Structure 1
Amino acid sequence: MKYLLIFGLIMAMFSSCCDKSQEINTLTKEEKADGWQLLFDGKTSDGWRNYGKTTFPNGWEITEDGTIHCPGSGRGEAGGKDRGDILYGDKMFGNFHLKLEWKISKGGNSGIFYLGQENDSLDYIWKTAPEMQVLDNINHPDANAGIAGNRQAGSLYDLYPAVPQNAKPVGEWNQVEIKVYKGAVWHIQNGETVVEYHLWTPEWNDLVAGSKFPALNPAWADVASEGYIGLQDHGDDVWFRNIKIKEL
């Protein structure tokens, strides 16, 4: 019995010292040394604001469990008072590696924008920025719209479908990454590269020309080489956390 107790104590100590789980919204020593920075501290909205404004909207909230939460409005993208898309306004990024996690509600829709611009003549960030789609693929009708699944989670919205389609279901956290380097772009969803493309090429221009975007902004294909990271208010409950970036 004595040896069993000692063995159990040793195993418990081993398990404790080898627990490498990382707290949410933090950086490891290795990440800090490698140049990563947090865009969300898990406690405040510092650095974040409404698109086209200077303040963080009351329609969004920072939750006690360390997420940025957009509560559902019940009105879809029509939204409501003091809402709208948000962006990290402290800095624009050009070549970067972005990581974050998202969780969607049943029938929910949202998005992650990058290389976004603020323009007095354009009222939404999506009129200037590529979007990595965030979606409940099972219950939201947009999952079956577009072409070949290019409006499903992880896709470059309305342009390139996420292949393979590996989004986790409602209520589960999805780990995603976006890499941008000199116009080359990768979407990584739950550990797999699901989209890869290059901005500003003839193929890119042809693809955009056949989409809905030119009608919204004739210059949409000419995506900027540097811009803002943004999160979409589509009127549905969505949560984000572990938002971090490394400049390349």
Structure 2
Amino acid sequence: MKKLTVLSVVSLCMSLSVQAADWTSLFNGKDLSNWQQLGGKAKFTIDNGVIVGESKSGEPNSFLTTKQDYSDFIFETEIKIDAGLNSGIQFRSQSLTDYNNGRVHGYQMEIDTSDRKWSGGVFEEAKRGWLYAVTRNEACQNAFNLDVWNHYRVEAIHNRIRTWVNKVACADVLDNQEGYQSGFIAFQVHSIKNKNLEGTKVRFRNPRILTEDLHNNHWYTPSEVQEINYLPNQLSAKQQSEGWTLLWDGKTTNGWKGTKLKDFPQKGWDIDNGELVIYSSGGGSTRNGGDIVTLQEFSEFELEVDFKITAGANSGIKYFVDPNLLKEKGAAIGLEFQILDDKKHPDAKKGHKGNRTIGSLYDLIPARNLSELTRSTKRVNSIGDWNRARIVVKGNRVEHWLNNIKVVEYPRGSQIFKTLVQHSKYAKWPNFGQREKGPIILQDHGDEVRFRSIKVRSL
């Protein structure tokens, strides 16, 4: 008897699942009677049983949408696209007269022909932007093949979204965005800026959907595929199994105190509907409630913090803080993930080559987009929207991530690091940033900033 490999067993299970499922075809191969076009006027035609979208210069994103809405489902189709063109599959999407004059918005599974290789990622069209850029999923980045047919699969079950490209697991998202429990499915032809791309095409065939018995037909997602959780102040079952804990419970001040106090500050800081808020005091550092610090200390760790800034705001997340420095006055001293409104706060133009901008290792290393080879600018969400900071410390290697984009990496304690310190405002403190462990600090810099979903795990 032929020996079955693990991969062949998984493939067999997938095959049996598909055969047993009661799929519904969304395209009859002849006409688009079950579909309608929204947005731009790129051309959609039928060619030998294939839906063909053709790019058109000067047009905004164009969408061929189902007339029916779907809530929980598994959707599959096959994709073939010309080089240079961008596209996507919208799902749980909407077009509402009271939102941007009917602009299509909602979840999208990316079809990407660029060098960044983000096919299979999850984007929120016309709202939050990238929810899951596949920056940490190399297998998915290599799954898509240009100029051939690619198999796409989306599972949207309750608040979990998972995607596959050519049976390679790509995205795993937990999200509870209000209003996105149901919506249409759509094929996108992206707008083009390069007129040389006029007439390039994306092709779709065999679109089908499953709306019943989903739990018995969903596919396995390997544990190494990162889950991104957007549920405020909640840990998923997977995160708990991976050792994550909430540094802030969303309700109390447990686990925190003022950096120069025995207890939590009595003014300046507040808890507002699941958000930890430092209110404005006119821009002066530590003049309101002062910085707050964890009671726990950390050495090798992964930290995630969601933050929302007001216009012109300045704040930061500090780590490897030395509690013995500046006990009497001033801000606590430690390595800092800078939080800043780069457009309006003057600190963005100070320091050296942008090393005081958002995501930077403050006054030492400027934040840059290290996840997209063809894009130098960071992906920063608008004022009033949530951004996500991620700090990873493993051995002497440290990384800063902003909205799932790596923006800083450096070897803590190396000669390069020490040289940077000697040319910074921290030069007067011996062994700055080289402590074996230290607490985490959220900074009061005199501006209103909100935090939530503060979580950490030891590495």
- Give the structure-1-normalised TM-score: 0.88
Q: Pick 1 or 2: higher relative contact order, CA cutoff 8 A, min separation 6.
A: 1
Q: Does 1:208 align with 2:421?
A: yes
Q: Mean Cα displacement is larger for which, 162-171 or 237-246?
A: 162-171
Alignment length (residue pairs): 236
* Higher deviation after alignment, 16-25 or 230-239: 16-25
Change in Cα spacing, 1:200 to 1:123, as seen in structure 2 (3 Å) is farther
Residue in 2 that maps onto 1:105: 310
**Structure number having the greater helix percentage:** 1
**Alignment match, 1:68:** 276
- Runs (4+) off by over 3 Å: 11-18, 120-128
Which residue of structure 2 lines up, in the alignment, with residue 84 of structure 1? Answer: 290
Moved more, 233-242 or 159-168: 159-168
Q: 2:319 maps to what in 1?
A: 114
Q: Does 1:142 align with 2:347?
A: yes
Distance 1:27 1:153 in 2: 26
**Equivalent-residue separation in structure 2 for 1:188 and 1:169 (angstroms):** 17
Q: CA deviation at 1:201?
A: 1.0
Kept after mapping to 1: 8 A contact 2:285/2:331:
no
C-alpha separation in 2, matches of 1:235 and 1:204: 29
Which protein shows a greater Rg?
A: 2
SS state of the match for residue 169, structure 1? Answer: coil
Q: Give distance in 2, aligned partners of 1:25 and 1:185.
A: 25
Q: Aligned partners of 2:255, 2:366: CA distance in 1, in Å?
A: 31
Find the residue that maps to 2:303 and give its secondary structure.
Answer: strand
- The answer as to 2:392 corresponding to 1:156 is no
Equivalent AA in structure 2 for residue 79 of structure 1? R
Tell me the SS of whatever aligns to 1:77.
coil
Note the aligned Cα RMSD (angstroms): 2.2
Deviation per residue, 1:132-156 (Å, 9 max, x gap): 0000011000011111110000000
Q: Does 1:221 align with 2:429?
A: no
TM-score, with length taken from structure 2: 0.49
CA distance in 2, matches of 1:12, 1:169: 29
The aligned amino acid for 1:226 is K
Q: Deviations over 1:1-20 (max 9, x none)?
A: xxxxxxx79x4454784322
Over 3 Å counting, the alpha-carbon distance change for 1:17 and 1:166 in structure 2 is closer
Partner Cα distance (1:71, 1:54) in 2: 21
Q: CA deviation at 1:166?
A: 2.6
Identity of aligned residues (%): 37
Work out which of the residue numbers 25, 38, 41 in structure 1 matches 2:246: 38
Kindly tell me: are residues 125 and 163 of structure 1, through their superposed partners in 2, closer, same or farther at Cα, counting changes over 3 Å? farther
Question: 1:182 aligned to 2:391?
Answer: no
Structure 2 regions of 5+ residues with no counterpart? Answer: 1-67, 74-91, 93-155, 161-174, 176-229, 370-377
Is 2:148 the partner of 1:18?
no
Partners of 1:136 and 1:230 in 2: CA distance: 19
Checking the alignment, whether the CA contact within 8 Å between 1:115 and 1:225 is kept in structure 2 is: yes
C-alpha change, 1:17 and 1:226, in structure 2 (3 Å) is same
1:166 aligns with 2:371: no
Please say if 1:235 is aligned against 2:446. yes
Unaligned runs of 5+ in 1: 1-7
